[in-house]
A and B are shown apart, each in its own frame.
Chain A
Amino acid sequence: MAYSTRARQHCSHCASVRKERVAHSRPVTLFNGMRLNDALQIAGRIGGIGKRSVHLLCGFTPLHLQTYVKAYLRLRFPEVSIQVLPGLYGDLEGNLERALGQSADGVIAVIEWADLDQRLGFRGNGGWRSQTIDDIVAQTEEKCSRLQMKLEALAQKIPVTLISPTLPLPPLTQNSPVQTSKLELRLNSILGEFLLKVSGCGGIRLMSASRLAASSPHHTRHDVKMELATGFPYSLPHADELARLGVRCLFPDEPKKGLITDLDQTLWKGILGDLGANGVSWSVEDKSQIHALYQQLLDSLAESGVLVAIASKNDFSLVNEALSRTDLLIRPESIYPVEAGWWPKSESVRRILKAWNIGAGSVVYIDDSQMELSEVAEKFPQIECLLFPSSDSAGILALLKHLREIFGRTEIREEDRLRVASLRASNEMHTDVSEAHSDEFIARLQAKLTFEDSQAASGRAFELVNKTNQFNLNGLRFTEAEWHMRFSRPDSFLTTVSYEDRFGPLGRIAVVGGSCQGNHCVVDIFVLSCRAFSRHIEFQILRRLFEKSGAESVLFVFKPTERNGPIQAYLSQFGSLQNTAAGGLEVSSEAFVKACPKLHHEVIEKWTM
């Protein structure tokens, strides 16, 4: 398979598991994850300037879990110092409360059954008599409700990854282990309800139990000997995997933005040129259902804002005919653009990237032909090229799961739904008339800008600031915790700007933030989505800033980056960027008025300063 996933079910591990079953001893530490020795060395590496602090909160001794968490944080953030802050033994609730008073970039909270009631753990001596069962249930219910309050309070301030019980219950009921006990059902029901409630709270991400089970099988997780001797309950492989997924859940990778797919033997079964538009298939009846699953996944990705395009060596009109079939499971309007022709695939990819205006590193290309993948990879080494293994259903399913991982998002916003339509409209706008960008053309756009206060918790503003490269004042990136702290200052402001014109809405496309005191204004956040270039929006924002604040000058905390050429070009209209080392570029209202073109936007203001 062309893509890499971390397989954890290896022969040596299975052999050790078999050995464990026979010997009834603790799991032997032969596995293919990160060895504790390696974790210690990685965790011990010295970081650079800056720091990432993470609370690791649990009721047991975190011991090796702490080492692994530190090691994975070190790998995730190689350039900063790493601090893992553990809590006190046996006091998960208190640990959550104490963390509320300390600043950090995130929390990994691990709940095991013993945290809900000590009698559900292996180090408790409260008895397993039948009359205690009701009390255990009542206690668990009460504890869940208290934990919910503590977690929600903490998540208002710091992002939290929550890990629900991963270990088995002790054999505390009189049922044979082959029969599920009522106690287990009741406990799972209470737990499920609790998890459902906290999952609805912004700022809390639950680690997937099924994802964990795929790489850390239940029977290899518990190290009872270690737990009884030291208070640390996990086998090394389990601690390793828990830490790896916990860090990934707390600090997910930036999701990919676009997917380019081939058609024949990929989006559908069959060769379009041979079979015609009605001959290609994606159904159970035609033994091509796996392509239907692929189409459904693409449709779902497109709905979440992922850009989907087609690169196919085919006759364009034939492709259009096939894409017009009413039984297609991806909506044709979700696909943009369609590049079909007899030129090299890399040429189609080049055109698609141009239409999308995004970097190759944010894109995935999928094809059933290794040769085509190689050709594209050679021209665009940053693109993740994935083989569609058309005759291997299990391989395709693995591919679909992989796509979910790399495109996974925690939240879908209105802008995500608008993305394809606005891109299409934007490209149409630029080809609509030859005088695009001219004053007359911009005047005819009937553009409307809406300025709104953005709360620190605004996900869209946070996302836009963290992902915009080209029109970005200084390339600053924030963690969620830093973002919250950044806007707790009373004199600070943060404004989002939405845009729409006769071609349709673009959604929230700009963020400007900073602080104002007297007649002086400092702007340290200024980003504009590349979809909204060439409409003079950046001038309107600055004009409103001058008018609203009454400032005589605005200091832009500008820093050149490799990719922020567009904002450099914009700012250089007001003064030289050569002398910006000492704090930024000062723009006077006079210099602004001199450089500002005629503006035609209708402006709706719902912001304060």
Chain B
Amino acid sequence: MDDVEIREKLLKCFSAVFPELNPVDIQSANIENTSGWDSIAHVTLLTLVSEEFGVEVDFEKFESAISFSAFLILIAETASPGCS
């Protein structure tokens, strides 16, 4: 899976949890500037990432992922080729 594909899939996950954000806003979204990013939204995001990328998400590792870009980095590390 290349970076573009990962970015697109992650955009889809963020868009499902924060439907009021447009694709540009999503890419700069973080826990501070996004209303509604609470613990429930965070778990929902993690579950969507697991569903979308077909990977098992490590909750502890992703606990510190509090921005779109942090998610992007961790997913790139987690998603191995062909796992989806």
- Point out residues on A near B: beta carbons under 8 Å: 25-26, 28-30, 35-37, 40-41, 44, 61, 63-64, 67, 225-226, 229-230, 232, 236
Contact = CB atoms under 8 A, between A and B. Distances in A.
A61 B40 CA distance: 9
A41 B17 CA distance: 9
B54 A30 contact: yes
Nearest to A26: B56
B47 A64 contact: yes
Interface in B19-55: 19, 39-40, 43-44, 47-48, 50-52, 54
Contacts of B54: 28-30
Given A63-B44, A232-B43, A36 B56 contact: no
Contact of A40 (B16, B39, B56): B16
A28 B19 CA distance: 26
Contacts of B59: 225, 229-230
Given A40-B44, A230-B43, A29 B13 contact: no
A168 B40 CA distance: 25
A226 B62 CA distance: 13
A35 B51 contact: yes
30 contacts: A25-B56, A26-B56, A28-B56, A29-B47, A29-B50, A29-B54, A30-B54, A35-B51, A36-B44, A36-B47, A36-B48, A36-B51, A37-B12, A37-B16, A37-B52, A40-B16, A40-B17, A40-B44, A41-B16, A63-B40, A64-B44, A64-B47, A225-B59, A226-B43, A229-B43, A229-B59, A230-B43, A232-B43, A236-B47, A236-B51
Contacts of A225: 59
A53 B72 CA distance: 37
Contacts of A230: 39, 43, 59
The interface centre, meaning the residue of A25, A29, A30, A64 with most chain B CB atoms within 10 A of its CB, is: A29
Given A25-B56, A28-B56, A44-B19, A37 B51 contact: yes
Given A61-B40, A230-B39, A236-B51, 18 more contacts: A28-B54, A28-B56, A29-B47, A29-B50, A29-B51, A36-B16, A37-B13, A37-B48, A40-B16, A41-B19, A44-B19, A63-B40, A63-B44, A64-B44, A64-B47, A229-B59, A230-B43, A230-B59
A232 B46 CA distance: 13
Nearest to A41: B16
B50 to A, nearest CB: 6
A26 B56 CA distance: 8
Interface of B: 12-13, 16-17, 19, 39-40, 43-44, 47-48, 50-52, 54, 56, 59
Contacts of A29: 47, 50-51, 54
Q: Which 5 A-B pairs have the closest CB atoms?
A: A40-B16, A229-B59, A29-B51, A37-B16, A230-B43
Nearest to B59: A229
Nearest to A225: B59
Contacts of B16: 36-37, 40-41
B50 A67 contact: no
B26 to A, nearest CB: 14
B12 to A, nearest CB: 7
A206 B43 CA distance: 30
B65 to A, nearest CB: 14
Contacts of B40: 61, 63
A29 B19 CA distance: 23
B11 to A, nearest CB: 12
B43 A63 contact: yes
Contacts of A61: 40
Contacts of B51: 29, 35-37, 236
Nearest to A27: B56
A37 B53 CA distance: 12
Nearest to A29: B51
Nearest to A38: B16
A231 B19 CA distance: 25
A264 to B, nearest CB: 50
Nearest to B39: A230
Contacts of A63: 40, 43-44
Contact of A67 (B12, B13, B44): B44
Nearest to B58: A225
A44 B17 CA distance: 10
A567 to B, nearest CB: 45
Nearest to A23: B56
Nearest to B17: A40
Contacts of A229: 43, 59
Contacts of A236: 47, 51
Contacts of A37: 12-13, 16, 48, 51-52
B45 to A, nearest CB: 10
Nearest to B52: A37
Contacts of A41: 16, 19
Contacts of B12: 37
A298 to B, nearest CB: 44
Contacts of A40: 16-17, 19, 44, 48
Contacts of B39: 230
A540 B51 CA distance: 63
Contacts of A35: 51
Contacts of B52: 37
A67 B19 CA distance: 14
B55 to A, nearest CB: 9
Contacts of B44: 36, 40, 63-64, 67
A236 B54 CA distance: 13
B9 to A, nearest CB: 10
Nearest to A40: B16
Nearest to B19: A44
A226 B59 CA distance: 8
Contacts of B50: 29
Contacts of A232: 43
Contacts of B43: 63, 226, 229-230, 232
A25 B19 CA distance: 31
Nearest to B16: A40
A474 B39 CA distance: 47
B5 to A, nearest CB: 16
The interface centre, meaning the residue of B40, B47, B54 with most chain A CB atoms within 10 A of its CB, is: B47
A377 B13 CA distance: 43
A226 B51 CA distance: 14
